[in-house]
Structure 1
Amino acid sequence: MISEARIIAARVLARVWSTEAFAAAALDAELGRHAGMDPRDAGLATELVYGVLRTEGALVARLSAMTPKGKLDLPSPIARAHVLMAAYAICFLDRVPAFAAVNEAVGAIRSEGDTRTGSFANAILRKLSAEIEAKGRPSLTEAASASAPGWLRGSLRRSLGRSAAEAYLSAGPVPPPLGLSVSLAEDRAAWIARLRQVCPDGTFEEGQASPRAILVRGAGDVRRLPGVGTAWIVQEEGAQVVALALGAKRGERVLDACAGRGNKTWLLADEVGPEGAVDAADLYAQKLDRLKEGPAGRGARKTYAVDWAARTGAFEEVPRDYDRVLVDAPCSGVGTLRRRPEIALRRTADDVKRLSELQIAIVRNAATRVKDGGRLVFAVCSVLREEAEEVVERLVTEDAGTGVRLEKAPIEAELLPGIVGEGAASFRLLPHVQGTDGYFVGGFLVRRG
């Protein structure tokens, strides 16, 4: 009999490969259709989806070596999913007997009416099982590193160093916990106690990087919990640190230049208080509409649909005297590999180069909205030098002809110890160090004339 967990995981993997769906969204949708599922089965489905996507390259290479032609040639995404899930279980899951993994994969493929592929899968998976029994299990860290595209491994090594790059690629937990951001007016410890009481099946813990963060596991849909949208919002812990890094103070005027749906806007409005003002801008007007309808809409004073790179849309309408501007720029997203492992296979070195040019253009034009002597913070959900230090160096050395000069400046925010060194003008957040998504944050002083 084929387990429900494997059926769900196979459907998700097939969608990721054939339609370029995001694994997290596809998995949530599948699990949502099986609301009464045993939590252990849901956990196994999650482990199989993320595990296969993280180690796919290593698994394919290993299985290919066991085929007559040296190539893993499977006729459908579903067949590929069942074979790779079995291989992942054989290589990395102590709790799943190898024979059970093989039998379920073969049975699932044969149930699709493909006897030939079932026999092929049976042969190579049994070879793999025998090899693992004889030589022992491989390293998950090495498999995750080897599965990343060569350009990404190289870039991470140049950016972080070899050992840190491997730790980054294999960092857990996978997927990471959900983050909640608690309002300044609320007591985080009290909310943890309350949420534990109303949702005893979930786990609620303080975050280690953000003083506002609550980390949640196993609580289901948190939107049904008390306090959502008023006392707290859903926000990844590293994203909270990015917003806090702007150093917004009570009474200041602030612009969230790439606001998206407004989670950072909400936090910034909380920081400046009713005496201050936060405006939000974004390329997409529909995102700003959703921002205005959500919790951030109560804190955002004005919104502007702006293409910062092209200086179009409402560009000329945006005021030029903000105390601080946050630019959380579009990027490769490799900082989210724990929750979106498929990104590694969808991005290229050319994408990173194109995005770094876009980041430079956005920052230069957004900087024209900062008053003389004001501050700008640039952030990306990436740790690659091409989107980090190299962008910063170009911003401070090249004359953009905007009448504005950018100088590196220390991060003014009072962040938790160990995140940013004293007087540092930039910092990284790393999943294997702080437990957050990966980010780069750089601070600038803006001078006019």
Structure 2
Amino acid sequence: MAAEQEGPDASGPALAGDARRVAARVLERVWEESAFASAALDAELSRLTVLDGRDAGLATELVYGVLRTQAFLEEQIDKLAVSRRWAGDPAVRAHLLMGAYSLLFLDRVPAFAAVSEAVNAMRVVADDRVGAFANAVLRRLADEAAKGRPALIDAVVASAPGWLRGALRRAIGRAGASAFLSAGPVPPPLGLCLAPAEDREAWIARLGEAAKGATIEAGKASPHAILVRGAGELRRLPGFGETWIGQEEGAQVVALLLGAKPGERVLDACAGRGNKTWLLSRRVGATGDVEAADLHPNKLRVAATTGARATYAVDWSAGTGRVPEGYDRVLVDAPCSGVGTLRRRPEIGLKREAGDLERLSSLQVAIARSAASRAREGGRLVFAVCSVLREECEGVVERLSSDPGPGEPEVKLVPTPFDAEEALALGLPEGASSVRLLPHVHGTDGYFAAMFTVHH
């Protein structure tokens, strides 16, 4: 088990070569193809069905562990290696970093076993010369680890890009930044969203009967959330697509903060595949109307099956397309850096740069102003991002609260306290018009949401 987080009992048979080969392929795809680790890992584990749960757990631990501590691990290796030629071969790099991670952070893995596994793997993907190099480096690292292992939390924080650490500290303070970066569990459990009025405890019991051995429990931030780990393919469980859908708990809270009420007309302006549309349509009921819009028509084809009365393909940054006016409430879950998903997407820090924040925040302002023009006079709009960085959060709120600039829609957005009951459950101060969800506080992915009243 890795120190400070949940993980597999990585002793004995769990040190299987297949698990390490799977992890290496995933790491190579992340580095070479910009793949998302979670999706690549799922694909590899599905393809290699001979892995048992213990080995699959080790592969998962290695992928997420290496990506979260990559910069720290590379620094330790650089201190012991005479050059960085090892980093030029993705397969060698993957096995060397996994060996280093095992030595430094996997308890109950004998040092000789961690070294042997890594060296043997590198002799397969490279040659004996590379294997000898790895053997020398890892044995020296094992000697260093024997004197005292570093703290995993410190390695994770140190491995975050400097621009990200700085942005997090500006947004939530130094202690908050460290807590955010090191928040667990990693990866987090899968979230299910129950339809309103369903009995959550009854469904937890039913799902537990259907998925023996799985961990199934109620979420804390959303009254509709069920958190699941170890249940296998969710689509095979009872109620999928009708009584519940797969949806991360924080994403549920964002939809609920819109405060949609029975009979209201609602626009999910950046609907994607329609998970929030599904929940919103069940909040407004048969007398209400939820419509979905998105830049990508292929996603809208999925959203059309989740409860949307109508769908619209639109580039909000360029105009409003054919989206009508008069909505009571508009949800803008805008494109963003995705920093809030670091627990499940540790590669995000490698994909983004400091310069992305200004570009993304300007896009977010443009999308929100354009979508706000579709709301009725006095209607409500919630702006949300799966980020916690000030540039994409309070910075955007400040820009949206100011008067429209040249060429922008003539719409005024006034920060307004949330009117959803679910906002009270988050412990927000009275009159709060914005909230930041944090994994180390709320147990969800990181989100920011702010409510406005729309005036034309």
Q: Which residue of 2 aligns with 1:146?
A: 158
Q: Which residue of 2 aligns with 1:231?
A: 243
Residues 204 and 215, structure 1, Cα contact 8 Å, conserved in 2: yes
Displacement of 1:113 after TM fit? Answer: 4.5
User: Larger deviation: 14-23 or 225-234?
Assistant: 14-23
What code does the residue aligned with 2:281 have? A
Q: Which residue of 2 aligns with 1:87?
A: 100
User: Larger deviation: 99-108 or 60-69?
Assistant: 60-69
1:345 aligned residue (341, 346, 350): 350
How many correspondences in the alignment?
Answer: 439
What code does the residue aligned with 2:391 have? E
User: Larger deviation: 372-381 or 17-26?
Assistant: 17-26
Distance, in Å, in 2 between the alignment partners of 1:318 and 1:303 is 9
SS in 1 for 2:450: strand
Distance, in Å, in 2 between the alignment partners of 1:27 and 1:56 is 17
- Identify if the C-alpha distance between structure 1 residues 73 and 410 changes in structure 2 by more than 3 Å, giving closer, same or farther: same
What code does the residue aligned with 1:424 have? A
Displacement of 1:361 after TM fit? Answer: 0.2
* 2:19 paired with 1:11: no
1:106 aligned residue (97, 119, 124): 119
* 2:406 paired with 1:404: no
- Identify if the C-alpha distance between structure 1 residues 229 and 2 changes in structure 2 by more than 3 Å, giving closer, same or farther: closer
* 2:432 paired with 1:424: yes
Q: Which residue of 2 aligns with 1:304?
A: 312
Distance, in Å, in 2 between the alignment partners of 1:257 and 1:402 is 16
SS in 1 for 2:228: strand
What code does the residue aligned with 1:263 have? N
Residues 204 and 217, structure 1, Cα contact 8 Å, conserved in 2: yes
Displacement of 1:420 after TM fit? Answer: 2.6
Distance, in Å, in 2 between the alignment partners of 1:73 and 1:271 is 55
- Identify if the C-alpha distance between structure 1 residues 175 and 102 changes in structure 2 by more than 3 Å, giving closer, same or farther: same
2:73 aligned residue (59, 65, 77): 59
Q: Which residue of 2 aligns with 1:96?
A: 109
Distance, in Å, in 1 between the alignment partners of 2:240 and 2:151 is 41
SS in 1 for 2:381: strand
State how 1:196-275 maps to structure 2 within 5 Å.
196-275=208-287
SS in 2 for 1:173: coil
Residues 318 and 369, structure 1, Cα contact 8 Å, conserved in 2: yes
What code does the residue aligned with 2:135 have? N
SS in 1 for 2:439: coil
SS in 2 for 1:156: helix
Displacement of 1:185 after TM fit? Answer: 3.4
Q: Which residue of 1 aligns with 2:56?
A: 42
2:302 aligned residue (290, 295, 305): 290
Displacement of 1:230 after TM fit? Answer: 0.3
Gaps of 5+ in 1: none
Residues 206 and 215, structure 1, Cα contact 8 Å, conserved in 2: yes
Displacement of 1:115 after TM fit? Answer: 1.0
Displacement of 1:2 after TM fit? Answer: 5.5
Displacement of 1:75 after TM fit? Answer: 4.3
Distance, in Å, in 2 between the alignment partners of 1:348 and 1:143 is 20
Aligned-residue CA RMSD (Å): 1.3
- Identify if the C-alpha distance between structure 1 residues 103 and 184 changes in structure 2 by more than 3 Å, giving closer, same or farther: same
* 2:137 paired with 1:132: no
Displacement of 1:316 after TM fit? Answer: 4.5
Displacement of 1:95 after TM fit? Answer: 2.4
* 2:195 paired with 1:195: no
Any idea what the Cα deviations from partners look like across 1:64-110, whole Å, max 9, x if unmatched? 011224x4634421111111011111111102111111110001111
1:330 aligned residue (318, 335, 340): 335
Residues 320 and 371, structure 1, Cα contact 8 Å, conserved in 2: yes
Displacement of 1:422 after TM fit? Answer: 1.8
Displacement of 1:211 after TM fit? Answer: 0.3
* 2:121 paired with 1:116: no
What code does the residue aligned with 1:106 have? V
Normalised TM-score (structure 1): 0.96
Distance, in Å, in 2 between the alignment partners of 1:17 and 1:115 is 24
Q: Which residue of 2 aligns with 1:437?
A: 445
Q: Which residue of 1 aligns with 2:5?
A: none
Distance, in Å, in 2 between the alignment partners of 1:72 and 1:229 is 50
Q: Which residue of 2 aligns with 1:78?
A: 91
Displacement of 1:187 after TM fit? Answer: 1.0
Any idea what the Cα deviations from partners look like across 1:330-360, whole Å, max 9, x if unmatched? 0000111111111101101111110100000
Displacement of 1:424 after TM fit? Answer: 0.4
- Identify if the C-alpha distance between structure 1 residues 113 and 149 changes in structure 2 by more than 3 Å, giving closer, same or farther: closer
State how 1:376-387 maps to structure 2 within 5 Å.
376-387=381-392
